[in-house]
Chains A and B, each alone.
Chain A
Amino acid sequence: MSTTKPDFIEMKLPAKPEYVGVVRLTVSGIANRLGYSYDDIEDIKIAVAEACTNVVNHAYKEDASHEAAMTIGCGVYEDRIELMVADKGNSFDVDQLKQNLGPVNAEQPVEELKEGGLGLFLIETLMDKVEISGDSGVIIVMTKFLHRDGVERNGDGISTSATQ
């Protein structure tokens, strides 16, 4: 089979909370067009929203005098979708972001539970491949493969490998 050139879609929006939903809906539309299952589309929506939320929250910590933007790139392949979320200019601390990675520990006392930090964990859990680079601004690249008609997975259930 010949490999066709991937389509590439790019959006640049103000790094503001009200635009995260817009990104989510747009990406959902693209994934739907590609034939992803309902559950996969929901996973993709959450992952892209988490990445955008990181950019927005970071932008809000900076002084509001300069306009912060988030750039979303979407590579559409035959067998996968590749989403890039970039926070140009102001880079946040990738190591710090990765530090609290993991689910909530039930053994932990309630007062020690952290309200933040689940975002990147969710991205890594819901997507098939995640790369983060933080040289000049942070870029998160997330890939979700398209499973057609149960070749890779049988049954129609969602992947529950993350459940204990």
Chain B
Amino acid sequence: MNLHIDIKEKAQESLVSLKGEIDVYTVPKLKEELIPVTEEPNKHVIVDLSGVNYIDSTGLGVFIGALKATDQSGSTLKITGVNDRVRRLFTITGLDEVIDIEVNEREEA
């Protein structure tokens, strides 16, 4: 039960790959690493969730925080690699209407 965070920074783009579970235990670490990336000006922040098998409201809260930060810094936020379960949570909460989410085509059965 842990979360592995990998951040690759390029000139215009920051790719944040997450692997594991996002919950009340792992969220402080995620916030600490993700939020500074979203505060950088004029970047495309891409968060890859293809390695994430569990997320709850604490994780969704971090993405709301990340969206706010990119909004402030003139950057953009995009979430990719969501599986059906993760996508469902973004849909139920209405977050898919405010956050740019790219559906993982390979997950379609």
Chain A contact residues, CB within 8 Å of chain B: 17-18, 20-22, 24-25, 39, 42, 45-46, 49-50, 52-53, 56-57, 103-106, 108, 110-111, 113-116, 118-119, 121-122, 125-126, 158, 162-164
Q: Does B18 contact A (CB under 8 A)?
A: no
Task: Give every chain A residue within 8 A of B93 (Cβ-Cβ).
Answer: 103-104, 118, 121-122
Shortest CB–CB separation between residue A64 and chain B, in angstroms? 16
Task: Give every chain A residue within 8 A of B89 (Cβ-Cβ).
Answer: 46, 122
Q: Label chain B's interface by main secondary structure.
A: helix
Could you give 23 example pairs across A and B, Cβ below 8 Å? Answer: A17-B23, A17-B25, A18-B25, A20-B23, A24-B23, A24-B54, A39-B85, A42-B85, A49-B23, A49-B24, A50-B56, A53-B23, A53-B57, A103-B95, A104-B97, A106-B94, A115-B61, A115-B65, A116-B57, A121-B93, A122-B57, A122-B92, A162-B91
- Bound complex: CA of A122 vs CA of B98, how far in Å? 18
Other than A49-B24, A106-B94, A122-B56, give 16 A-B pairs with Cβ distance below 8 A: A24-B23, A39-B85, A45-B54, A46-B89, A53-B57, A103-B93, A104-B95, A104-B97, A106-B98, A113-B64, A113-B67, A118-B60, A122-B93, A125-B92, A162-B91, A163-B92
- Bound complex: CA of A154 vs CA of B64, how far in Å? 35
- Bound complex: CA of A115 vs CA of B21, how far in Å? 18
Q: Label chain A's interface by main secondary structure.
A: helix
Task: Give every chain B residue within 8 A of A24 (Cβ-Cβ).
Answer: 23, 54
